[in-house]
């Protein structure tokens, strides 16, 4: 008779699985709570200490860490010496292990958990059994997911000895224990305050297959962090529309990063990872929407919009008139939802925007053969940090506009230039190979808009020469904010003084590659 060892934290479907194994000639061994659960449901089950002839000790910390268990799992069935050893020591083989692990991730997700409580949820025996069974997958089924119960029972029932299935289950099991260990490692690393440890192991769970990647000939999938962040596109709830695409997800992520910097009502519209319009208002989310929309009524077509307040009927009626790929907000009023759901392809998503402060601290960028890790640029520059370097100082109104532009420019691909007033973008120049190119694009876009005052310019990095300042002065820019730091800073300062422009330095660059 074959033997199965079952010890699960999540007991979903385990009774039916055990009964299915018994019906196919298996004897069931179990431990602790799983043993009790099976016994209560009339499953014929053997307690683990009857097999090991050794009691559970140390509050259950040691129960399956025993040679009888691991020899029964690891013995090669086609190796005569292994089998003779088992016979000599009166050890029986174990042919299936069904284990899922202590809920460490769920434990540390609780706000008030202590390190001592977390450590008690580090499973030792479970991963050990999984690894032993997985190493010997040619002879042992290893089952760590209730979704695989039916597939395994079908394989056993058909008696086809499916090696491909066994190997697939083993690979899945090793990925499971690797992710489990990575979560523990990150938790302890964070407790130690080690920002960049000697080894970086990341755990991500499969979320969904994507229709394609950046282009239709590229395959793609979406994975979410094993320790999910509530303020992320991966945690958003989709209310309506077709599945998100690869590019949708990247654009939506970029939009969420912008609105995270604003507590006041804010709307950000994006195309191709760059904002095309951002608007804020002290009170009205509708007015913030109007400012974001009118900032660039052309580029918003087919764009992604993030709204950090509930989408109202008034906003939805205007959104309905244009083509938008995604609208993501904390909520939609019933009237707004009804209006927008009339558009078949628009994706409507909700997310808890109050969790923005708890967003992921680091960001990861893959390169061929490596991974770049850095802190996210969450710094919001303050007026108190601005240093006036020109003869003319900005007015209070210009200072407010400079601060707004500076909050947006760090979210624009370098070389980045933002032309703005106090509460809306008017022109954005992004991703050019030279800074004057971005200045010209931003100003050209601004000149197509209704005239505003004040009219200021923000730059994500210093001006390498004075041509950017000169061009801005010739096109009615009245104040400029930039980090400074060029060997030719004085040329730019002199040019600003010549044209009566106010300029401030922040001392902080905001490149976004």
Phi-psi region of 116 (alpha: psi -120 to 50; beta: other; left: phi over 0): alpha
From start to end of 173-216, where are the E strands? Answer: 204-210
- Active-site residue, from 207, 224, 272, 499: 272
For residue 298 the two structure tokens come to: 């052309």
List % helix, strand, coil for the chain (3-state, nearest 5). Answer: 40, 20, 40
CB contact set of 466 (below 8 Å; sequence gap of 6+): 488, 491, 492, 494, 495
- Active-site residue, from 19, 66, 135, 320: 135
- Helix, strand or coil, per DSSP, at residue 50: helix
Closest CA to 5 of 80, 90, 87, 66: 66
For residue 40 the two structure tokens come to: 């209560």
Contact 45, 28 (CB under 8 A): yes
Strand-strand pairing, 479-482 and 502-505: parallel
CB contact set of 259 (below 8 Å; sequence gap of 6+): 266, 267, 268, 306, 307, 308, 353, 356
From start to end of 312-356, where are the E strands? Answer: 324-329, 347-350
Catalytic residue list contains 2: no
Q: What are phi and psi of 50, to 5 degrees?
A: -70, -25
Q: Longest Cα pair distance anywhere in the chain, in angstroms?
A: 97
For residue 130 the two structure tokens come to: 């999984």
For residue 203 the two structure tokens come to: 């755990």
Catalytic residue list contains 361: no
Which residues are designated catalytic?
Answer: 135, 272
């Amino acid at each position: 008779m074959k033997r199965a060892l079952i010890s699960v934290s999540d007991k979903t479907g385990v009774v039916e699985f055990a009964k299915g194994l018994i019906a196919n000639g298996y004897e069931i061994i179990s431990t602790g709570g799983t043993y009790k659960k099976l016994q209560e449901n009339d499953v014929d089950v053997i307690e683990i200490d009857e097999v090991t002839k050794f009691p559970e000790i140390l509050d259950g910390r040691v129960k399956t860490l025993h040679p009888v268990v691991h020899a029964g799992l690891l013995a090669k069935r086609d190796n005569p010496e292994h089998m003779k050893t088992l016979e000599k020591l009166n050890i029986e083989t174990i042919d299936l292990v069904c284990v899922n692990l202590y809920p460490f991730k769920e434990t540390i997700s609780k706000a008030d958990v202590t390190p001592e409580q977390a450590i008690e949820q580090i499973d030792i025996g479970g991963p050990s059994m999984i690894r032993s069974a997985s190493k010997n997958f040619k002879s042992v089924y290893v089952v760590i997911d209730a979704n695989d119960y039916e597939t395994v029972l079908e394989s056993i029932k058909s008696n086809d000895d499916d090696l491909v299935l066994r190997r697939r289950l083993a690979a899945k099991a090793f990925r499971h224990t690797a992710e489990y260990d990575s979560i523990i490692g990150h938790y302890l690393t964070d407790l130690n305050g080690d920002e960049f440890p000697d080894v970086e192991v990341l755990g991500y769970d499969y979320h969904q297959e994507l229709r394609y990647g950046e282009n239709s000939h590229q395959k793609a999938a979406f994975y979410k962090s094993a320790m999910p962040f509530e303020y992320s596109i991966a945690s958003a709830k989709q209310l309506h529309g077709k599945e998100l695409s690869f590019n949708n997800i990247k654009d939506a992520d970029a939009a969420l990063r912008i609105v995270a910097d604003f507590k006041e009502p804010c709307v950000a519209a994006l195309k191709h990872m760059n904002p095309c319009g951002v608007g804020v208002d002290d009170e009205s989310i509708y007015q913030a929407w109007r400012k974001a929309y009118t900032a660039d009524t052309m580029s918003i077509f087919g764009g992604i919009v993030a709204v950090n307040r509930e989408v109202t009927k008034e906003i939805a009626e205007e959104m309905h008139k244009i083509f938008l790929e995604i609208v993501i907000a904390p909520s939609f009023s019933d009237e707004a939802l009804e209006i927008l759901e009339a558009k078949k392809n628009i994706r409507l998503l909700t997310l808890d925007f109050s969790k923005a402060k708890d967003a992921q601290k680091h960001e990861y960028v893959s390169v061929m053969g490596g991974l770049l890790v850095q802190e996210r640029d969450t710094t919001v520059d303050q007026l108190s940090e601005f240093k006036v370097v020109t003869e003319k100082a900005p007015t209070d109104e210009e200072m407010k506009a400079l601060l707004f532009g500076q909050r947006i420019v760090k979210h624009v691909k370098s070389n980045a230039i933002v032309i703005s007033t106090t509460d809306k973008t008017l022109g954005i120049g992004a991703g050019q190979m030279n800074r004057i190119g971005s200045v010209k694009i931003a100003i050209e876009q601004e000149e197509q808009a209704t005239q505003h005052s004040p009219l200021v310019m923000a730059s994500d990095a210093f001006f390498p020469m004075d041509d950017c300042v000169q061009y801005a002065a010739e096109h009615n820019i009245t104040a400029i904010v930039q980090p400074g730091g060029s060997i030719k800073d004085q040329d730019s300062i002199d040019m600003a003084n010549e044209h009566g422009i106010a300029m401030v330095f922040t001392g902080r660059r905001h490149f976004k590659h």
